[in-house]
Amino acid sequence: MSNNILNLYREYEESRKYWENKLGGEISEIKIPPDFARTYRNKRESCEIAFDEGLSGKLMLSPKIKSSCYI
């Protein structure tokens, strides 16, 4: 059993080193073209909504929200 654990550990270490080497280094910036033309208007638009404290607390604690409430 100890040989099996040692082999698993060696495989893990080899795999970890491989991926650290493959994915390591400096992250370069990528430039992805937008799917529509950006204009001044759609760059600067915003909307504010104020909720009362009770609703705000419920939204923050809801497990159904899969994103940040701070958008």
List the chain domain ranges: 36-62
Residues of 2-34 as b/e, b for ≥16 C-beta within 10 angstroms? eeeeeeeeeeeeeeeeeeeeeeeeeeeeeeeee
Q: Given this model, what pLDDT does residue 67 score?
A: 62
CA angle (54 as vertex; 50, 58 as ends), nearest 5: 95
Q: Given this model, what pLDDT does residue 28 score?
A: 81
Segments of the chain scoring below 50 in pLDDT: none
For the record, the structure tokens of 3 come out as: 């040989």
Q: Given this model, what pLDDT does residue 1 score?
A: 59
Cβ partners under 8 Å of residue 51, min gap 6: 59
